[in-house]
Amino acid sequence: MNLVIAGGTGFIGAPLCRALAQRGHALTVISRRPAVEHGIPVISWDADWPRAVAQAEAIINLAGEPIAGKRWTAPQKQRLRESRIGTTRRLVEAIAAAPRKPSLLINASAVGYYGPRGDEPLGEEAPPGEGFLAELCRAWEAEALRAEGLGVRVALLRIGIVLGPGGGAFSKMAPPFRLGLGGPLGNGRQWLSWIHRDDVHGLIEWIMAHPEIGGPVNATAPEPVTMRQFCEALGRALHRPSWLPAPAPALRLLLGEMAEMLLTGQRVMPQAARRHHFSFRYPGLAEALAACAESDG
């Protein structure tokens, strides 16, 4: 299949591109960091990428400034919006201009769509929540859904906390645990909806192979946990204690508004994946963290 991957050089995108290339797909990767990644050419957003869109059978959009990369100042919020909403708008406009449309757009989103929801189990039919992340995700998805009016199947991948070696949440959280200084954030009762990176890749390929799949798809493992449970499992995976919590006031002082993303959570369930019999490679947290710890050294 001829694929365009937007944002294909990041923590999720780079290994996905390698896997898809190994399966014989023809790839065009668009990134803010143009280069050659493992033999796959990467072109800039300033290049003639709409020509690749016009030749694509499917588009996978993973582009976006890292949500937790910087404090949420007003300029940073605007960068987050533009890197998601603006980029998706440009892709859909290129689809509209193409004489032959791709059959599929898989567009990344996030479980932040649901906002802080306490203990409420959340399937794909749950309404959007409130707050900056929920508003961002809602607008992001709205841009992608414009492609449906062009006859394109659109799948919205609402991704949880992604675990994997070499980056992501595991690589950020593991160092203090390895020093014996790990523990939950805040009171530890907030829900954490996680997924192993291999299962994000698996869901993307599963959506590509199943034309009946469209609309929102929660990219989360079937066993969400609380922050305290997650940290206890991480401690066990690293053979270290989990005893030193990070107080909520200190996090708010350090991170500002972004701290709320860490101190609140969502109990998200992958109902679409389960309804259509997707098989998770890592359905449980213990085996997912063990795989991360083994690969991360």
Which pLDDT does position 37 carry in this prediction?
Answer: 60
pLDDT in tens, 195-241: 999 999 999 999 999 999 999 999 999 999 999 999 999 999 999 99
* CA–CA distance, 107 with 116 (Å, rounded to integer): 22
**Residue 35 one-letter amino acid:** A
What is the rounded average pLDDT of the residues 133-144?
A: 98
> What is the predicted pLDDT for the residue at 35?
67
More confident residue, 95 or 41: 95
- On the question of pLDDT at 296 being above 80, the answer is no
Q: Is the pLDDT of residue 297 over 70?
A: no
Domains (ranges, CATH) in the chain?
Answer: 2-296 (3.40.50.720)
> Whole-model pTM above 0.75?
yes
Question: What's the per-residue H, E or C state across 193-245?
Answer: CEEEHHHHHHHHHHHHHCCCCCEEEEECCCCCEEHHHHHHHHHHHHCCCCCCC
